Chain A
Amino acid sequence: MSLMGQDVLTEDGLFMVNIGPQHPSTHGVLHLKVWLDGETIVKIQPHLGYIHRSIEKMSENLSYRNFIFATSRMDYLSAHINNEACALTVEKGLGIQATPRAKVIRIIMAELTRLASHQLWWGCTGLDLGAVTPFFYAFRDREAINGIMEETCGARLTMNYMVPGGVMYDLHPNFQKHTKDVMASIKKNLADYDNLLTGNVIFEMRTKGVGVLSKEDAISFGCTGPTARASGVSCDIRKLFPYSGYENVQFDEILATGGDCYDRYMCRMAEMRQSVNIIEQLIDTIPEGDFQEKTKAVIKLPKGEFYQRVETARGELGVYIVSDGAASPYRVKYRSPGFSNLSALSQMAQGVKIGDLVAIMATIDLVIPDIDR
């Protein structure tokens, strides 16, 4: 086939299309080189590096208080949880624990973040599959959660609320009432979400049996979070390696077996309900007391290596700090969930149509700054 006299096919008769770095459904500057046979995908090659800001290298020159906040810009939809992971690692190095009040605040904030992130994902999934309306319903509820964040943390997206030893300020006086109101409305609205998208025939046709990731593949690619749990891999860090007091909270780890787009979708939908459940358990019983453990003005970690993992909205985030005893880390390494989940994309998208590729990318919930850092 030729276009204006120029051959557009590769030697083996395939049609190469660049999806991204600017494309509506990559949700960022991800660049996929896709080789097509008609509409069927033969090969995918993800290209990274368009939004690399060397956060890890930058952290080597920042103090232990400051480097935490660079991570808000990694997975910006789980900014709270990223900050928490770093704060926990520093606490581990110092050998201290956050105050009981701070621990509960951290859980509530983390679950609110997870809810907001999943809501945005839900809206974008609808958008990618061609249904525009869910996006607005999702953003209405996400807006309410951002309102809570703004009240207490002063910011809506990059909260920078977690510090070693606790949280930066105490909760806003309206926090409990506001959160309870929002939870009540979200519980009601989750039914709307299902009515809008979940039961739709076209939606089920587009997602069931599409982009299947087997349990073995999920493990070998290092997938985590809802992406892996939909394939039956039990990997919820909150359950397996509880941190920050998750061992005292009642919630279920959501597992599915199909590993297709629909199961990934249903896992996240169920996780939203679990998050609401966790918040409702804790909101009335926030312990009184200090919101921050006393720490020195200049934090110095002892010589050694420290690792802490947490469950972000996308999967397992690992923070690895090598300290040489100075006031800033010697080396920082983040194990980001998005990178490993993306690596499974070419496996999942083997032999599917372009429309399915968009569905798969939507349901593994990629956040590009998290992949590139």
Chain B
Amino acid sequence: MKTIFLISLSSLARHIHIWLEELIGNPNGVYITEMTIVGISLIVFLVVLCFFLGYAERKVAAFMQIRLGPNRVGPKGSLQIIADTVKLLFKEGLTPTAADKFLFHLAPLIMVITAMLALAPIAFAKDFQIFDISIGVLYVASVSSMAVIGILMAGWSSYNKYSLLGAMRSGAQIVSYELSVGLSLISIVILTGSLRMSDIVMSQSDGWWLFKGHIPILISFVIFIIASTAEINRAPFDLTEAESELTGGFHTEYSGMKFAMFLLSEYINLFIVSAIAATLFLGGWMPLHFGHWEGFNHVMDYIPSSIWFLGKTFIIIFIIMWFRWTFPRLRVDQLLNLEWKYLLPISMVNILVVTLMAIMGWHF
């Protein structure tokens, strides 16, 4: 496949690498410097991303709720979220007297760190990936399920009955929905034969799995979106915070920057889930190609791969936001019924069908 990139993140990365080699010379020094750059740029990226997602969510909500949304601070209200962050930074971080101080302060950190860890194997553009680990999919699934520890910790250490109820709900919820998320990820792994993110993306160079995989993959895509919405505690599965029932759920007692960290982790998780869905089902950074439409395919190749990746991710983010502002919340027993009686059996049968499909070579 011959592709011409006008702006290529991978060539930028290569240039920086060559420049650093000339400057420092020592390979270990280059490696450490590069890792520092990656770390800092990742944090900057996440903060910018969360500002953007926060703004996007408000605008999407406003669009669906016949109102304008933020429109005072900055052009079209785009700086509103920065103003809010500054407000949260200056707010007093209250700690309940009876709370377990150590766990209470640790919980938001765990939430953010686990969310950030899951970003490592995501392919943002062609050859632009922090860490192309050989068990990429497994790594993301396991790291993202660690968030439940943070939630449980926050709920239990707050010394608040609402928080405790919220934490218990999230324990049941995340552990249950983890199964469906895992099974729908496995269906792609079966077809690709690899857990490595770059392999999964490359396997879609002749078409995205959503198109190549027939109905079974469509089913696992839908299940993935539903189950991961539940896993990241977003409406209609936001039972852990359920403000009309549990006031704030597990983060009732949090304020100031610690509260902002929960918000940050929510948005990072939203991005990760959408990015995984885009990578596995929608071809990651692969441009959209149609069989023999040479001209069309050529035009599509001109769009930078990072734009493809982010575009697909943001479409899925929009869908998940759309859920949030249109659906009422499920009840806790209905939530578990949905998983154990519907999603899980369907995923299990689906896995068998996908396996059969992969063995017989029925996919395109």
Contacts and interface: CB of A to CB of B under 8 A. Distances in A.
Interface in A314-343: none
Interface residues of A, number: 35
- The secondary-structure label for the interface of chain A is helix
A358 B327 contact: no
B242 A130 contact: yes
B68 to A, nearest CB: 11
Contacts, number: 92
A197 B328 contact: yes
Contacts of A135: 65
Contact of B331 (A25, A126, A136, A205): A205
B352 interface: no
Contact of B244 (A15, A130, A136): A130
Contacts of B100: 4
B245 A355 contact: yes
Nearest to A135: B65
B333 interface: yes
Interface string A6-21: 1010000001010000
A256 B325 CA distance: 30
A206 interface: yes
A23 B98 contact: no
A192 to B, nearest CB: 10
B161 A129 contact: no
Contact of A130 (B64, B98, B329): B329
B202 interface: no
Contacts of B161: 3, 8, 15, 17
Interface string B149-174: 00000001001011011000100000
A336 to B, nearest CB: 25
Most central of A4, A140, A205, A355 by chain B CB within 10 Å: A355
Contacts of A127: 244
B66 interface: yes
Contacts of A75: none
A41 to B, nearest CB: 12
**Which 9 pairs show the lowest CB-CB distances between chains A and B?**
A130-B329, A129-B328, A136-B65, A131-B328, A355-B331, A25-B244, A128-B244, A130-B328, A202-B328
Interface of A: 3-4, 6, 8, 15, 17, 23-25, 39, 126-133, 135-137, 140, 196-197, 200, 202-203, 205-206, 353-358
15 contacts: A4-B98, A17-B162, A25-B244, A25-B245, A129-B244, A130-B244, A131-B328, A132-B325, A136-B65, A140-B66, A203-B328, A205-B331, A206-B334, A354-B245, A354-B332
